[in-house]
Structure 1
């Protein structure tokens, strides 16, 4: 017999995954937390202009790795470590290999697939880049691609995003 969850059980579930990632380039370990639904919606909304059309590819790629990392890097108490545009810009100046290591884990914990990344950054097949996966523009603690420099790799070393 199947037991179905109640609304209260769903709302009370601790379902955001956290993973510690060793980053030798930075001399230690960082904590990566998957995005909540709201955080991911806000992140994705950063790829849509005021006209609700996807930003041009060059704008979508600006600061991409740093934006993903900033959305998911937390301190030991689970608080975001990078909030301001200035901090995220400085984060983007760090090693691309180190950032990618964090991004790979952040993507996995947040359910961001390679197809999602391609759609967000304008690397998808023609006709697919005209829409966003977010229904509303929202706001974000991370800079929008138009205010943020870096670019995602089409796939990580392991072939996953």
Structure 2
């Protein structure tokens, strides 16, 4: 028998994982994002702007504090409450990059950001030229506006 609406909406499906952080001397709890949170996170690290060649628009990855931006949403206490607010992104981003990278990988996996999705986010999405041929160059990673 297939699940009904109430069973799906009532399912506790957001996963958590304890991760020992040697540099911080203890475990932290990483929680995966909900679908709504994941969409908002992905939108927050993309910028749509005109292509340099004037042919359409391109989506550019904004990498500034990308890991910390995810982690402030995913690090939680034993009760599942966030440890940080979005305003703590810069402060968390000042911590050890290797630690943030390790925790980012866990948060990304728990949130459904597969390797392929992460590569696509780090690539350069674009609107194809009129003939359908791609005219993209290397991905732009700067957050400065044109």
The bucket for the TM-score relative to the shorter chain is 0.7 to 0.9
Runs of at least 5 residues in structure 2 that lack an aligned partner in the other structure: 50-56, 128-141
Report the CA distance between 1:66 and its aligned residue.
Answer: 0.8
Q: Is the 8 A contact 2:29 2:77 kept in 1?
A: yes
Structure 1 residues without counterparts, runs of 5 or longer: 132-144, 148-161
Distance in 2, matches of 1:20 and 1:88, equals: 21
Larger radius of gyration: 2
RMSD over aligned Cα, in angstroms?
A: 2.3
User: How far apart are residue 96 of structure 1 and its match?
Assistant: 1.1
> After superposition, what is the alpha-carbon deviation per residue over 1:5-56, rounded to whole angstroms, capped at 9, x for unaligned?
001000000000011110011111100001000000100111333668523x
The separation in 1 between residues aligned to 2:16 and 2:106, in whole angstroms, is: 10
Partner residue in 2 for 1:16: 14
Structure number with the bigger relative contact order (C-alpha 8 A, sep ≥ 6) is 1
Tell me, in whole angstroms, the C-alpha distance in 2 between the residues paired with 1:49 and 1:14.
33
Q: How many residue pairs were aligned?
A: 123
**CA–CA distance in 2 between the matches of 1:81 and 1:146?**
27
